[in-house]
Amino acid sequence: MGDPLEYFTDGENERILIRSYRTVQCMFCKTTDNLSFFKEYFYLSFMFRTG
């Protein structure tokens, strides 16, 4: 079998979007807690704090 896929529908523009499945875990440490979504990937939320 190939790589898993996920799909979305865009009813407004009448499109079906298909892409490789991306798990809901941090790209760096693989945790699943306190995540933020940025540029199509999940990262730990603290990585986006400024100040």
**What is the Cβ-side half-sphere exposure of residue 11, based on CA atoms within 13 angstroms?**
0
Q: Are 32 and 25 contacting, i.e. CB atoms less than 8 angstroms apart?
A: yes
Domain count, the chain: 1
Q: What is the dihedral sign for C-alpha 9, 13, 14, 15?
A: negative
Contacts of 8 (CB under 8 A, 6+ apart): 16, 17
- CA atoms of 51 and 29, how far apart (whole Å): 23
pLDDT at residue 20 in the model: 84
Residue type, 20: S
In the predicted model, is pLDDT for residue 38 greater than 90? no
Structural domain boundaries, residue 23:
5-48
**pLDDT tier, 15 (very low <50, low <70, confident <90, very high otherwise):** very high
Decide if pLDDT at 4 tops 60.
Answer: yes
